[in-house]
């Protein structure tokens, strides 16, 4: 477990530099037209019913793009979530 510091407090978040991961995700959000892609795919995406609940379309779409951009397998994408 990481030691809690004063910089971890919510009031200091505005002073923190964004990480490379955060910068990449911000760029990805601004470049890709997510809402348009979700609208195209939504009618084909599985709906909740009997059995296991599907993961949200927005999350799965982003994971799918990351897998292709970084040549990740399904287990590789799962390991990279942290």
pLDDT in tens, 28-68: 999 999 999 999 999 999 888 888 888 899 999 998 998 99
Question: Please, which pLDDT band fits residue 77 given cuts at 50, 70 and 90?
Answer: confident
What pTM does this model have? Answer: 0.67
The answer to whether residue 46 is domain-embedded is: yes
Q: Under 8 Å CB-to-CB from 38, ≥6 apart: which residues?
A: 57, 58, 61
Residue 71: which domain range?
Answer: 6-79
The answer to whether residue 51 is domain-embedded is: yes
pLDDT computed for residue 36 by the predictor: 95
CB count in 10 Å sphere of residue 25: 14
The answer to whether residue 14 is domain-embedded is: yes
The answer to whether residue 1 is domain-embedded is: no
The answer to whether residue 23 is domain-embedded is: yes
- Look over the chain and give the mean of its residue pLDDT values, rounded to a whole number: 83
């Amino acid at each position: 477990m990481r030691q809690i510091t004063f910089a971890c407090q919510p009031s200091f978040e505005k002073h923190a530099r964004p990480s490379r991961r955060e910068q990449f995700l911000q760029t990805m959000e601004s470049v890709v037209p997510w809402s348009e892609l979700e609208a195209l795919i939504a009618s084909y995406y599985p709906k909740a019913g009997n059995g296991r609940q599907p993961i949200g379309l927005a999350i799965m779409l982003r994971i799918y793009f990351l897998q292709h951009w970084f040549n990740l397998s399904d287990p590789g994408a799962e390991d990279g979530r942290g």
